Amino acid sequence: MTPRELKRRLDLGECVVLVDVRDAWETEIVALPGSRHIPLNELRYRAFEEIDPEDEVVLYCHGGVRSMDAALLLWELGYEHVRSLAGGIERWAVEVDPSIPRY
């Protein structure tokens, strides 16, 4: 999912669960409002406790690589409504909100 598509859907009030799979130090710099923080290395163990398999989930990281790995992991676990934010929060900063910190 592109940052612009996610922004449009959020602006329309659509129910999307945002999951930030970055490390804690990265979330201290910047995070998308309303997102849940589940680092990629903890996702396998926390997914069923913290993410409803029926929800539409958008995963994000810094550049899109870890979130794609996270999406593949959730698909393996049986989640069907999972997408990765293309280009991560870096692309979000460029295309949607240039006021957020970049690193």
Name the active-site residue from 38, 43, 57, 61.
61
Q: What is the pLDDT of residue 52?
A: 96
47-85: pLDDT as tens digits: 999 999 999 999 999 999 999 999 999 999 999 999 999
Q: Is residue 100 in some structural domain?
A: no
The torsion defined by the Cα of 95, 103, 83 and 65, in degrees rounded to 10, comes to 120
Q: Is residue 11 in some structural domain?
A: yes
Burial label for 41, CB within 10 Å (0-12, 13-18, 19+), is exposed
Average pLDDT, integer, range 11-23: 97
CATH code, domain carrying 30: 3.40.250.10
Domain of 33 in residue numbering reads as: 3-95
Please state, in angstroms and rounded to a whole number, the distance separating the CA atoms of residues 28 and 46: 20
Q: Is residue 101 in some structural domain?
A: no
Is 61 tagged catalytic?
yes
Structural domains in the chain (count): 1
35-49: pLDDT as tens digits: 999 999 999 999 999
Place of tokens 């922004």: 7
